Structures are given as C-alpha cells and as structure tokens.
Amino acid sequence: MSDPATTWPEGVARHVLPRSSSTNSDALRLAPQIEGKAWIITHDQFQGRGRRGRDWEMPKGNFAGSLALRPDGEPGQAALYSFVAALALADAIAAVAGPSARLALKWPNDVLLNGGKVAGILLESSGQAGRVTALAVGIGVNLFAAPPADKSAAFAPVSIREETGITVSPEDFLDQLAPAFAEWESRLLSEGFEPIRKAFLARAARLGEIITARTGTAEITGRFEGIDASGALILATAAGRQAVPAADVFF
C-alpha cells in the first residue's frame, strides 16, 4: 500500500464547521442532499458519540469529522466501511506522526499509537426496506491532547502531539485522511472485502494472542485467530471457534 496521496479526492465535498453537536448527525442530515460524498469536520464538537452510547470527548485541537455517503446497500456491506476507515486512519496517522510511531489496529474500530488509544470510529446509518441509504463514517483523533482516561476502557487515551511532539491541525490531517480513505474505499468497491481484511489483519493488535471479547451479555476469551468475510472476530475458545460480530475487546 502506497503512502496516501495529498491530492483531494475528486467528487468529494469538504465542510469545516466552527461548532457542531455531532458531525455524524450533520452527515446523516446532509447525505440525502448530496450526489457524491462529503467530509464534515468541526473545531468544537460538544455532543460527540462513541460506540454503545458512550460520550466522545474532544479537547481543543483534536480531530472530529465524518464522511457522509450514500452506499445504497445492505447493512452488512455498509459495516465494512469501519475497516476502510481504520486502514485510512493508520495511513494518515503514519504520514503525520513519522516512522517512529508504533501503530496498530484494534478490532473493530480503534487505532492504537504506542500502545494507547489515539483514534476511534463510529458508523451510523439510516435507510429503509433493509437497505442503507445514508451512512456517516465518524472519526475522532486525538491530535493535540488526550481526553481524561475512562477506567472502564481497554486502553488509556494518548495523543499524537504528546507521543511524538508533532502538532498537526484538523484541516491538515483531513488532507491526509480523505485521500487515504478514497484509496481504500476504491479497493473495497473494486476488489471486495478480502484485500481489506488481509490489510487489517497485517496491522491488527494482538493477532494470535489470548484476548477477551465482551458483548454486553457474554464474555468470551480465546485466541484471536482473525476476522471472517463479514468482519466478525474469530476466537479459538475452549468450546471451539466462535465468530463474534460485535464486542468490546480487552487484552
């Protein structure tokens, strides 16, 4: 995979908002009105959301943005955009943080920098008749400062500036992220999920090691063997191989 180009992808709009309650909410409102795709970022997101209804805090100088698009497909296909976003984030962070940054992807939606959580992804969608007609790919990156640690989280938060000494603006980060996302999305649409799956596993944290997946109703511990064609986590447990479609993972 080549380094992300810095050329803005063709047919993709760009909106920079001084303030937003949630860029994902903005993206879902905007999606039905656009022909192509649109990135929305803000300098002040005051009601950001994480997975499972958690709050996403945004210290000043960090990145909060969403890509609005209209995939018009099944929910399972739309869910694969989480892996596209993770790979694009890894490329963009590597481009701005330099070769000394140790990056890894934590299934299903986090990016780790030097062992701490530096970025997260949240997909939200709307549609009808079993089809996703509007998709928001929400992304938060600790560019400047890490938010307060959450005792229930699997990893302590870190920021690019605090870990590497490098300061990058949200606009400059988007200049790296948008082309990287377009490149990985192009591969998904032209080649299917398999190259995305392989690229994700090549960067996956703790592949081959014992991890615990908490689904909200169960806790499953086993060896992390990979992800399947739907993006589900594959664990080798005492009861056999299990596919876990959604969970929080702890190492």
Q: What is the pLDDT of residues 161-195, one digit of tens each?
A: 999 999 999 999 999 999 999 999 999 999 999 99
How far is CA 121 from each of CA 33, 82, 127, 130, rounded to the nearest angstrom?
Answer: 23, 7, 20, 23
Specify the pTM.
0.92
Q: What is the DSSP letter of 165?
A: S
The angle subtended at Cα 209 by Cα 225 and Cα 205, nearest 5°, is 85
Digit-coded pLDDT (tens) for 109-128:
899 999 999 999 999 999 98
Collect contacts of 71-78 with beta carbons under 8 A, ≥24 apart.
71/132, 71/133, 71/135, 72/131, 72/132, 72/133, 73/131, 73/132, 74/130, 74/131, 74/132, 75/125, 75/127, 75/130, 75/132, 76/230, 77/132, 78/123, 78/125, 78/132, 78/135
Q: Which domains does the chain have, with CATH numbers?
A: 12-202 (3.30.930.10), 210-250 (2.30.30)
For the stretch 45-80, pLDDT in tens is 887 666 555 666 788 999 999 999 998 789 999 999
Q: How far apart are CA 66 and CA 81, in angstroms?
A: 12
Q: Parallel, antiparallel, or unpaired: how do β-strands 219-227 and 110-113 relate?
A: unpaired
**86-102 per-position pLDDT tens digit:** 999 999 999 999 888 99
Residue of 170, 180, 208, 184 whose CA lies nearest to 60: 170
